[in-house]
Structure 1
Amino acid sequence: MRGSKMVGCAIVVALAATACGGSGGDSESKGSSGGGFSMNIAEPKRLVPQSTTESGGSQVLSGLFTPLVDFDAKNQPVLAAAESIESPDNKVWTVKLKDATWHDGKPVTAKDYVGAWNWGAYGPNAADGNYFFGTIQGYDEMNPVDPDGEEGPKKAEEPKAKELSGLKVIDDKTFEITLKAPFAGYKSVLGYTVFYPMPESALTDLKAYEEAPIGQGPFQMDGKWNHDKFVKVKAYPDYKLGEKPKVDSVEFRIFQDQNTAYNDLLANNLDIVDQIPTEVMGTAPGELGDRFKTSQASTFQFVAFPTYDKKYSDARVRKAISMAIDRDEIIKVVFQDSQSSARSFVSPVVGGYREDTCGEACKFDPAAAKKLLAEAGGIEGNKINIGHNADGGHEQWINATCDQLKKNLGLDCVSQAVPKFAELLTQVENKKFSGMFRMGWIMDYPSMENYLGPLYSTGGSSNYYGYSNKDFDRLLQEGREAKTEAEAIQKWQAAEDILAKDMPVIPLRFGKNVFGHSTNVKNVEMNLFNQVELTKVEKS
């Protein structure tokens, strides 16, 4: 099971992992109890599928739900909750469901998918995953453009419709999706978290549902979400959609400090840490032995500019700051060569990746950076700040980045911490954070488009920096409508070239999963989506 999204962690050796470390979580138990195990996460922002676009919540939902499709070792979609997904023209898609039951025993129906998606697509609901329904016919009528011309989930006008005209229930196990335009890769898109279903009862009282979500996945809730402490789940005995859990339960403990989580791991009081803190990277391999693990991931770490802020509105300013950062040195000193420098806007794990699309703007050149900044008129007040979430382990590398900017550009640069990742996302989404801020991205589905659309398209679900370029949007859509993957990639690469000119963000690092587990468990694996594969974990 899987999901992805914005990631809050610095990723110890890797770029970012699905959840962060924590403060202990006030769990009722120590280590793993009975036939279960414990692992760390960050406090989720939401536990509603259509509004869960960060890593902590996604990890929990990956156990509670099964996606329509999952992905094989070659990143190709394979059927999971769906019996079949077919389209004669890449525009009209017919989905037939496998037999499954909700955790309350009721049958899962096509109506449950259509109802949940309509809720997510309806603008006034302000679902964080609203953007992903934008390719479906009828979305525009549910999301009118607001007076200042910006698109997004929060609208000033009353929508003309409350349901997507492109969704149609055929029978209890079949529904039809009609897109605005053909999208050859749409089957892969359906593997994302926002396309999970919800039972009809959830929509009558979503606030109550979110405290104890009912899903159709391998695990079910065991009690309610205990905010800032833990979320407990237990194996669902009637699960039919895939591999059954090999343990009885999982306790997701919410931490606000990664080092505390790691110390609990060493003491066998926590079974899995999904990212090893940077501070212990030198000692962790020796302390954990063969329980120190690494695997490939899809993470992309970057610093974003509030492009709507006059201070950062000039692309020359943004490029100068990027050129003044020595990525390689920070990776060597802070991350001990456990990550790789990013000089492109998409991850090497997806088709269409090119090694140095950022060009001169990502080349470390202090002299050229200083000259370019002067040409742009400098920075107001000669002062900048870089925001980050305190629960993600970012302080060390951001301080190192600020030191370089002080030395190479003469700027007064300070680190500005916000307690939780969910809180940082809320602040930047509402434009209440002033300054640059760090972000991390894990792919939602294996496509170059997923690194471009959500992050940089006008109104993109994770475009927290207000970037908008009509040519970029056009190329993105032309790629979606392309008849072949090769043609799509050509369009998306052209769109990426526009990013290199505009520099709305500074690419910094690509990462991998670097994690560890206690002596209580075995067969611990993390996937490309930076998630622990919950159904594979076994007791030692």
Structure 2
Amino acid sequence: MRLLALFAVLALAVTGCSGSETGRPGVLSVGIREPATLLPADLADQAGRLVTGALWTPLADYDAATGKVTPRAAASIESTDRVHWTVKLRPSTFHDGTPVTAQSYVDTWRVVAGEQWVSSPVLTKLLRAREITATAPDTIALTLDRPSGQVPALLAAPGLVPLPASVLASRDWDGFAKAPVGNGPYRLDGGWKPGSGGMLKRVGTGKAEEIELRVGEPAAQYDAVKAGTLDLATEVPGEKHEAMHTDFGDDHHATWALPEAGYLAFPVANPRFADATVRHGFALGVDRAALEAGPLAHQVDPAKALLPPADAPGERSGTCRPCSFDAAAGKALLKQAAFPGGTTVYFGPGAEAWTRTLVVGLHQALDVSVTAQAAPRTDQLDGPSTLDVKLATGSPYELLSELATASGYGDDVFRQNLELAGAAATPEEAGELYRLAENQLLRDLPVAPLWSGHGHAVWASRVHDVTATPFTGPVLAGIGVS
């Protein structure tokens, strides 16, 4: 009996289960990694976005592919001149019972802009409002420094949700992240327990009465769903990628685009990389499939465009030649440009493993000396650098401007198209201009697209209505259990 008890304890530890029974009516058990934080404006990881997506309701949902804006906490987001914007709020309260007002947003955004959190650039670099005021308890007024049609897309950013007055006054961000108070369909009951998880209780329109969040390793959580001891696993490790299709069938697993992508940025001001022919040569020497199947462990798709699916205005009509792997053509281009010798490729935090695989592949494909090195603290690099970009919004403006800045690319026509796209009156007009800007980047190639991230989930037979979005992953409030 002691041996059986020991096996039971070990089984719970491996699966990351908290000890409760899966299958309880109205209770959805969900496996996730440990979130980096539960402070909405300072997170960029999938687990954190999943949890805060249930705890908060954003002003709106934004679909990058169609440009469609669906109001959520906002009743409307409108402008007559794209400089002066008015946001009308629906009546709502925080989980502590205090009202969510226009001043809640104004005060929160002032803090976000000043704290240098992950979402701070949405306000300081992208929105660029001269003035944001609460003109009534349910009305936010924004005055921009130039016309912008991207305001609804920017305000839909998950990091711009409101914080209650209590934490804005105390500024105890670490304490708040352990017991966050949002305005969404679920509240966190009993606080967050690092290494274990937490329990969400329904207070709004969610389908499940309770959601039990269990922290653990993806492989064990995958096996737990398969064994029937967990309802939903929100990440599928690389070694389970192929088995997922047979273990769960087409109606019990899903893949969705994530707001992240990888690039190789060239120092265009450096004479060795000033010729676009050289840059195209290196782009054609990248075996993206080897990155996807190797160090990136099937968590990405090889790039087929500069803009990843989570950030793209519809499907790209033309092919992306620099996204191809053609070693012979790459070598010919470097020879044509008389490229002088090899180069160092620099990497930032978290990108070392896939950068080193990239470097080995470039050396083999192009027959030039290529080494990898951690990026020094300088803006003047003498070689390309890998970029692991995590987006805060669904607007292409954010990514295109960031890529141009990373490479030092300052072409006037590109900048003009980018600004015109940002100011465009309709999603269709903006989409056309963003594609023009993307096409120019693919022609001049200050950055070469490498991969775009995607998420996976698998679920038990009693789970239904699973949908996912780039920023939340599986929408927890919409998932039902039988």
Q: Which band: TM-score by shorter chain?
A: 0.7 to 0.9
Question: Sequence identity, in percent?
Answer: 25
* 1:27-46 map, 5 Å: 28-29=18-19, 32=22, 34=24, 35-46=26-37
Checking the alignment, whether the CA contact within 8 Å between 1:344 and 1:358 is kept in structure 2 is yes
Residue 12 of structure 2 corresponds to residue 52 of structure 1: no
* Aligned residue in 1 for 2:339: 376
* 1:221-240 map, 5 Å: 221-227=188-194, 229-237=195-203, 239=204
> Scaled by the length of structure 2, what TM-score is found?
0.79
Alpha carbons of structure 1 residues 186 and 29: separation in structure 2 relative to 1, 3 Å: same
Where do 5+ consecutive residues of structure 2 fail to align? 1-12
Checking the alignment, whether the CA contact within 8 Å between 1:198 and 1:214 is kept in structure 2 is yes
How far apart are the structure 2 equivalents of 1:330 and 1:165? 44
How far apart are the structure 2 equivalents of 1:226 and 1:437? 35
Higher-Rg structure is 2
* Aligned residue in 2 for 1:409: 366
Alpha carbons of structure 1 residues 312 and 175: separation in structure 2 relative to 1, 3 Å: farther
In the TM superposition, residue 480 of structure 1 has moved relative to its aligned partner by: 1.2
Checking the alignment, whether the CA contact within 8 Å between 2:281 and 2:333 is kept in structure 1 is yes
Match of 1:259 among 212, 219, 233: 219
* Aligned residue in 1 for 2:145: 180
Checking the alignment, whether the CA contact within 8 Å between 2:256 and 2:473 is kept in structure 1 is no
How far apart are the structure 1 equivalents of 2:110 and 2:299? 42
Q: What's the CA shift string for 1:422-447, capped at 9, x where partnerless?
A: xx9xx99998x9984463656833x5
Match of 1:494 among 431, 436, 444: 436
Checking the alignment, whether the CA contact within 8 Å between 2:418 and 2:433 is kept in structure 1 is yes
Q: Tell me the matched-pair count.
A: 459
Q: What's the CA shift string for 1:365-424, capped at 9, x where partnerless?
A: 2133234446332324xx65767749xxx96x77865553242124677899xxxxxxx9
Residue 171 of structure 2 corresponds to residue 171 of structure 1: no
How far apart are the structure 1 equivalents of 2:234 and 2:421? 34
Alpha carbons of structure 1 residues 233 and 109: separation in structure 2 relative to 1, 3 Å: farther
How far apart are the structure 2 equivalents of 1:401 and 1:499? 21
How far apart are the structure 2 equivalents of 1:347 and 1:260? 30
| SS state at 1:84 partner | strand
Alpha carbons of structure 1 residues 174 and 279: separation in structure 2 relative to 1, 3 Å: same
How far apart are the structure 2 equivalents of 1:195 and 1:74? 22
Alpha carbons of structure 1 residues 283 and 254: separation in structure 2 relative to 1, 3 Å: closer
In the TM superposition, residue 175 of structure 1 has moved relative to its aligned partner by: 1.6
How far apart are the structure 2 equivalents of 1:234 and 1:512? 26
Q: Between Structure 1 and Structure 2, which shows a larger proportion of strand residues?
A: 2
Alpha carbons of structure 1 residues 506 and 336: separation in structure 2 relative to 1, 3 Å: same
Q: What's the CA shift string for 1:105-159, capped at 9, x where partnerless?
A: 111111110011111222xx2122122113688x5xxxxxxxxxxxxxxxxxxxx
* 1:132-143 map, 5 Å: 132-134=122-124, 139=128
Letter of the structure 2 residue corresponding to residue 343 of structure 1: K
Match of 2:400 among 436, 452, 466: 452
In the TM superposition, residue 65 of structure 1 has moved relative to its aligned partner by: 0.4
Q: Between Structure 1 and Structure 2, which shows a larger proportion of helix residues?
A: 2
Residue 246 of structure 2 corresponds to residue 289 of structure 1: no
Q: What's the CA shift string for 1:316-375, capped at 9, x where partnerless?
A: 65433321123467768999999764232124574365344643x333321332344463
Residue 55 of structure 2 corresponds to residue 64 of structure 1: yes
> Scaled by the length of structure 1, what TM-score is found?
0.71
Where do 5+ consecutive residues of structure 1 fail to align? 1-22, 140-163, 417-423, 459-464
Match of 2:287 among 326, 331, 334: 326
Checking the alignment, whether the CA contact within 8 Å between 1:265 and 1:518 is kept in structure 2 is yes
